[in-house]
């Protein structure tokens, strides 16, 4: 009868070690997943910050280009066109004769 208890006791100890090993493996996996999650979060945060910087730079450049185009448009409105100059030249030639 003692052999039955020893066999049963050995079986329980083996099962207990197997369960402890599974728990250790699960704990290690969870730690790795947590570490990976933190690293990915930091990487994503850095990428978002970089995109914000680029977006602000592009916005500033866009604003400068709008201002430049507005100034050019204002100047073009005040300058005479080639056709207008040709018309004035013809009128001047008529008066000169």
The pTM of the full predicted model, rounded to 2 decimals, is 0.55
* Domain count for the chain: 1
Q: Which range marks the domain in which residue 52 is found?
A: 2-96
CA 19 to chain centre: 44
pLDDT digits (tens, 9 = 90+) for 19-33: 999 999 999 999 999
pLDDT at position 54: 98
The answer to whether residue 95 scores a pLDDT higher than 70 is yes
Give the span between the Cα atoms of 57 and 63, in whole angstroms: 10
Find the mean pLDDT for residues 71-93.
80
pLDDT at 1: 47
For residues 27 and 1, the model is more confident at 27
Highest mean pLDDT among 18-27, 75-84, 86-95: 18-27
Please give the Cα distance from 53 to 47 (Å, whole number).
10
**What's the 3-state SS for the chain?**
CHHHHHHHHHHHHHHHHHHHHHHHHHHHHHHHHHHHHHHHHHHHHHHHHHHHHHHHHHHHHHHHHHHHHHHHHHHHHHCCCHHHHHHHHHHHHHHHC
């Amino acid at each position: 009868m003692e052999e039955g208890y020893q066999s049963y006791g050995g079986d329980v100890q083996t099962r207990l070690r197997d369960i402890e090993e599974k728990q250790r493996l699960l704990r290690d996996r969870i730690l790795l997943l947590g570490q990976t999650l933190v690293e990915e979060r930091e990487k994503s945060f850095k990428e978002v910050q970089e995109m914000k910087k680029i977006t602000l730079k592009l916005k500033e450049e866009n604003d400068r280009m709008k201002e430049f185009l507005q100034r050019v448009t204002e100047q073009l409105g005040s300058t005479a066109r080639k056709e207008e100059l040709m018309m004035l030249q013809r009128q001047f030639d008529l008066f000169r004769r």
